[in-house]
A = this chain, B = another copy of it.
Amino acid sequence: MQPDYHDETSSCLRASELLGRIANKWTLLIVRELGTGPKRFNLLRRDIGDISQKMLSSTLKSLERDGIVIRDVTPTMPPQVEYSLTALGRDMKAPVEALASWAIQNADTIDAARKRFDMHNHG
């Protein structure tokens, strides 16, 4: 049924396509937050920090579509919606965390490199 994604050429193309959707700031931050357990919308929003509600809801919808996140609605008043990782999402957690912690650990180094580069180019 599906086109065969398993020859090397098209798998590379698909890798590039998938990375386009997966490898973005909000996706990684959300997966990272949900990696510590289920969270509700506004808590997620607060914990991520500087994400707008639009981006949070649209990114969550994409992640739900991709089978990475589960949306669990408790129809109370007011309604409660809890987001959590699927098995696929939990599987994604490790690589995401690896990249995130690399970024954190090397923040200073990168910052210094930037300053050096800008000094050369500016001054």
- In Å, the complex CA distance between A2 and B111 comes to 10
Please tell me if A79 contacts chain B, counting CB pairs below 8 Å: no
Interface residues of A (CB under 8 A from B): 2, 5, 11-16, 18-20, 22-25, 27-29, 48-50, 64-68, 88, 91-92, 94-96, 98-100, 102-104, 106-114, 116-118
B99 contacts A98, C-beta separation under 8 Å: yes
**Known pairs A66-B110, A95-B95. 12 more at Cβ < 8 A?**
A5-B108, A12-B49, A15-B100, A18-B104, A22-B103, A23-B99, A24-B25, A67-B109, A67-B117, A92-B102, A98-B98, A98-B99
Copies in the complex: 2
Q: Which residues of B contact A12 (CB under 8 A)?
A: 49
A102 contacts B91, C-beta separation under 8 Å: yes
- In Å, the complex CA distance between A64 and B113 comes to 9
Q: Which residues of B contact A104 (CB under 8 A)?
A: 11, 14-15, 18
Partner of A106, one of B27, B88, B106, B107: B88
- In Å, the complex CA distance between A45 and B103 comes to 26
A107 contacts B18, C-beta separation under 8 Å: yes
A117 contacts B65, C-beta separation under 8 Å: yes
